[in-house]
Structure 1
């Protein structure tokens, strides 16, 4: 039962990390958009609206990149914590049980990765 719960815990942790990263990206995008809204009030921005649009696009790209890096860091930290949690009970398992647990964990990671990619695809459209 514990081996079956570990992949579930990993999937839940990955889902929570994705939600937090998405929320952070949204907050970062809102923060970067506020100065851009104020910027067109200046004379320079009124003269060249393309500069304001480019600056806004750059700010959005930087926020998206920062959110993506934060999500990767969180996923890496959850992966290392999973390895630490599962390393102790593995010594009590037979080689066949270890193999089955590793396969289950790999399947859960693949499912979580696929779900994350699908969510990213939905967010872009």
Structure 2
């Protein structure tokens, strides 16, 4: 089960990284072209929401995949005397990746605010 959870988490992180890169590219193109900013803003907002949801999924899966104390270990773990410190190291490295992605999302939110301001200044008078 843990190997499956680990693979699922690593897949989620890879997918999330791709989403962040796609989000960055989409944002840069939208700001540079300033064409159809309203649609771009909605697409970017949706992408950011999806990124946040993926982060939530990963942080929910982590404790299940990598228990941090012996009371959370399964009978199978105890029968085979699994070294929990191995899981803790992996857990830490995954959390480090998640933190980097969260920091990137903060940067992207700033870009999104800039785009929002551009939208307001461009279309605010029409409303």
TM range (shorter): 0.3 to 0.5
TM-score after normalising by structure 1? 0.42
Computing the radius of gyration from Cα coordinates, the structure with the larger value is 1
Q: Where is the helix percentage greater, Structure 1 or Structure 2?
A: 1
